[in-house]
Structure 1
Amino acid sequence: MPYYSLGIEGSANKLGVGVIEHPQEKLAAYNHARVLSNVRDTYVTPPGEGFLPRDTARHHRNWVVRLIRKALDESQIPPEKLDCICFTQGPGMGAPLQSVVIAARTVAQMWRLPLVGVNHCIGHIEMGREITGATNPVVLYVSGGNTQVIAYSRQRYRIFGETLDIAVGNCLDRFARTLRIPNDPSPGYNIEQLAKKGQHFVELPYTVKGMDLSMSGILEYVDGLANDLFNGKKNKQLVKPDGSKITVEDLCFSLQECIFAMLVEITERAMAHVGSKEVLIVGGVGCNERLQEMMGVMARDRNGNIYATDERFCIDNGIMIAHAGLLAYRTGKRTTLEESVCTQRFRTDEVFVSWRDD
């Protein structure tokens, strides 16, 4: 008989629920899983505003029952056929995470099913491996709350480098607030579209420190340029060689080029260290076509390959939690009610990867 799990994700402003099927065969590098449903609803704020934890949690509480019903309806899997309920245990925003934990506990007790807590990053990695078929890649995990370069070794996903302050997605989102551009469908996507129209590169701070990087200084610098542009202040960096003014599109283009080059540099260094020819990009920022293009150039120069997924699996979703949780469930993991406490800080390398022994 196949295995089935329902996963609930809500670590930030996206609430997702998914149902997945695993065949009964022994666990392998990837498991030919079937995505039976993958539904999502996003809490969107007005232009220039971020999302507060309490408002995001209220959104999740309002939508979680409807999304669970919809996921079950689409999958045509009744609760009695499920093997477990999986939920995001961290990292993420405290109040939204707590809303998801309460929902998961409730349905698990109603349907008398075991709980499995899942690390958000592990969910991204395992779903990326499953969808793309990447066997043992260096992973670039880039999202609103996380930026890490990761490689697997001895049943742990080891962090080789990471941001020292804010994540790449947070940097893009906050610059979008400065520009007061819409948050629908996402600030990063809208910056990407503006960047495609940019033609002039404005030099910005490039801050790589060994295998780590820093983006708060870059954000402060480009914010200053944007404010000078809006207020009409004189700044020689806002003038092109032909005497015309720098545009908002040029600033978006420059910000992307700078921070993506930093990401490519530390990813290439990790690939060289572990001797890998595969790179897998996961997380919401992984949808960015320019990042994929730049990483692809680097990978091909090393006779390697790049793997990435589309927005169904890059952006936070319930199916990645269902998949990673079911992998753990099949190797014996259960999360008791007492242990099902969410945490805002849950390191990727804290997780014992019991389903891999390569």
Structure 2
Amino acid sequence: MVVAIGLEGSANKLGVGIVKDGEVLSNCRRTYITPPGEGFLPKETAQHHRKHILPLIKEALEVAKMEPQDIDLICYTKGPGMGAPLVSVAVVARTIAQLWNKPIVGVNHCIGHIEMGRAITKCDNPTVLYVSGGNTQVIAYACNRYRIFGETIDIAVGNCLDRFARLVNLSNDPSPGYNIEQAALKGKKLLPLPYSVKGMDVSFSGILSHIEEKGRPLLKSGEYTVEDLCFSLQETVFAMLVETTERAMAHTGSQEVLLVGGVACNVRLQEMMAQMVKERGGIVYATDERYCIDNGAMIAQAGALLYASTGQPTPWDETYIRQRYRTDEVEVTWR
């Protein structure tokens, strides 16, 4: 029974979590929030992580009622993500692994999301929709890999939403996507937008450019409100995601869909997916913001599964970070 601590810092969320045999003992997080209209840059995000990482480790240990000697395994996000934030957290993981004399495991960020979702929801073999600020993928397990059936060919859906929020000056607190979701509830008029599904892949940059170009004059004229544009954007991009997920379900014969990643917290996306899956006689699994949004517990969970299945830590000379680290590069030895 492995007790693992996980350190996550691939973007603006810094998380430290402790997991024991699939049970989450602590899951602490700090978010770097920028002013409205501004995104988060690698340098400033890394500074935020360096400032908060040690207090957060102490907090996670206190919540779990543990000491460093009770930890069996150090897990950290190896990638994908922003370089400087990833490095700032990986350095701390390497340091405490040496100080505490514990084995260390580098974890693929997406695999962390999937395994946390599987552990919390108890789903069996789902088709996975992974949607976040940096990633958009439709995934299913086959032959010891999480295979990517479809993905974005340009920007991630979360990045599309974040950039639109900056355009209309929505707050970044607690997150741009959440504030778009709340504004969309008040939207009444649907602005026709490009629907960019290309086989199993999707594209969001053209939609963003279109709503930027058309949206400004429509807002100035009063023909559409910010709430209308939020509503229109959500309905369009989520419909695209539901379509590609349904096609993957048909291909794999799956009756389960698991939503993971920060955008998966969106209740409207969950509703649209649930309607499609219900018509197919299936079930949708989703978690709340504790586990959808980047967190340390998911890194601990995935790292513990990998370590338990192989008995081997990540070799010390391979405990670096990889900004581009695809989901299907990881051999899934625990299934």
Give the TM-score band, short-chain normalised. Answer: over 0.9
Counterparts of 2:332 and 2:245 in 1: how far apart (Å)?
Answer: 22
The within-5 A match list for 1:218-297 is 218-232=207-221, 245-297=223-275
Counterpart for residue 331 of structure 2: 352
The alignment covers a number of residue pairs equal to 334
* AA matched with 1:273: H
Counterparts of 2:212 and 2:292 in 1: how far apart (Å)?
Answer: 27
Offset at residue 77 of structure 1 (A): 1.7
Q: From 176, 180, 184, give the equivalent of 2:165.
A: 176
Aligned 8 A contact 2:37 2:167 in 1:
yes
1:316 aligns with 2:300: no
Offset at residue 230 of structure 1 (A): 4.3
Counterparts of 2:291 and 2:209 in 1: how far apart (Å)?
Answer: 31
Counterpart for residue 19 of structure 1: 18
**Secondary structure of 2:317's partner?**
coil
Q: Which has the larger radius of gyration?
A: 1
Counterpart for residue 83 of structure 2: 94
1:334 aligns with 2:334: no
Offset at residue 49 of structure 1 (A): 0.2
Counterparts of 1:202 and 1:91 in 2: how far apart (Å)?
Answer: 34
Q: From 102, 108, 121, give the equivalent of 2:110.
A: 121
Counterparts of 1:310 and 1:134 in 2: how far apart (Å)?
Answer: 15
Please report the RMSD computed on the Cα atoms of aligned residues, expressed in angstroms: 0.8
C-alpha deviations, 1:324-349, integer Å up to 9, x for none? Answer: 00001111231122101101100000
Counterparts of 1:5 and 1:343 in 2: how far apart (Å)?
Answer: 22
Counterpart for residue 325 of structure 1: 303
Aligned 8 A contact 2:219 2:226 in 1:
no
Counterpart for residue 241 of structure 1: none
**Secondary structure of 2:191's partner?**
coil
Aligned 8 A contact 1:189 1:288 in 2:
yes
Counterparts of 2:236 and 2:2 in 1: how far apart (Å)?
Answer: 44
* AA matched with 2:252: V
Offset at residue 225 of structure 1 (A): 2.3
* AA matched with 2:27: N
Q: 5+ unaligned residues in a row in structure 1: which ranges? A: 23-32, 233-243
Counterparts of 1:255 and 1:169 in 2: how far apart (Å)?
Answer: 12
Using structure 2 for the length normalisation, give the TM-score. 0.98
Using structure 1 for the length normalisation, give the TM-score. 0.92
The within-5 A match list for 1:179-190 is 179-190=168-179
**Secondary structure of 2:195's partner?**
coil
Offset at residue 231 of structure 1 (A): 4.2
Offset at residue 246 of structure 1 (A): 1.3
**Secondary structure of 1:338's partner?**
helix
C-alpha deviations, 1:55-105, integer Å up to 9, x for none? Answer: 000000000000000000110121112111000000000000000100100
Counterpart for residue 239 of structure 1: none
Q: From 37, 50, 70, give the equivalent of 1:61.
A: 50
Identity across matched positions, percent:
64
